[in-house]
Amino acid sequence: MPHSNRPAVSPQASEDAIDRVQREWLRERPGTPVGPIGILTRIRLIARLLEPDHRRAAARTGLNAPTRDLLSTLRRSGSPYRLAPGTIAERSLLTPGAISQRVASAERDGLVRRRRASGDARGVVVELTAAGHERIERALDELLLHEEQLLGGLTAAERARIEDALRLLLARLADRLGQ
């Protein structure tokens, strides 16, 4: 494989550097199960390509990742855009302590507010403010437009096949790795 972070592949190529690696291993060690190289190495390379690009695109929104995740969770919940902190933690796959820190930060910035839950004197809900709603709408539009452009060379059918295969792989890996 090349030493750069960039994989040696052409968008139109039927073969890439990973295919060469697999062939070389089979030549040197006939019978070696090289199939995982073809899948997992490509996933690692895709992640390596996407991560810095995603960080740059996300930074342009002016929201850090924890705040963006919090605002996204509240926005996806539907009107009136409020959830209990425990529900936010469940939907974000985070601990309640992490959510508490995120809420405090976003509250200082005027993006969310804590309110008493109706019917529960001790309960609290976190609610998206108008400013928070506007910020997440703008950030979401910007990020999704950028990501749509990244996938622009794929047909709808290709996207569906990739999505189905990745969903299956994710589920199987989660089962195998006990996640």
- Residue 158, pLDDT > 50, answer yes
Whether residue 177 is contained in a domain is answered as no
Domain range for residue 26?
Answer: 15-59
Q: 76 and 54 in one domain?
A: no
Instruction: Decide: residue 104, CB within 10 A, 0-12 exposed, 13-18 middle, 19+ buried.
Output: exposed
- Of 7, 32, 59, the residue that ends a domain is 59
- Residue 90, pLDDT > 80, answer yes
Q: Is there a contact between 68 and 133 (Cβ–Cβ < 8 Å)?
A: no
- The pLDDT, as a whole number, for residue 163 is 96
Q: 131 and 69 in one domain?
A: yes
In this predicted model, what pLDDT tens digit does every residue of 16-30 receive, in sequence order?
999 999 999 999 999
The H-or-E segment that residue 20 falls in is helix 17-28
First to last CA, the chain: 31
Whether residue 152 is contained in a domain is answered as no
pLDDT, averaged across the chain: 90
Tally of domains within the chain:
2
- The pLDDT, as a whole number, for residue 149 is 96
| Residue whose C-alpha is closest to residue 117's, from 84, 68, 141, 91 | 84
Q: Which residue has the higher pLDDT, 99 or 178?
A: 99
- Residue 47, pLDDT > 60, answer yes
The H-or-E segment that residue 126 falls in is strand 124-128
Percent of the chain topping pLDDT 70 = 91
Residue with tokens 């936010």: 88
- Residue 92, pLDDT > 70, answer yes
Whether residue 38 is contained in a domain is answered as yes
Q: 87 and 73 in one domain?
A: yes
Whether residue 166 is contained in a domain is answered as no
Q: 55 and 20 in one domain?
A: yes
Arithmetic mean of pLDDT, 51-69? 93
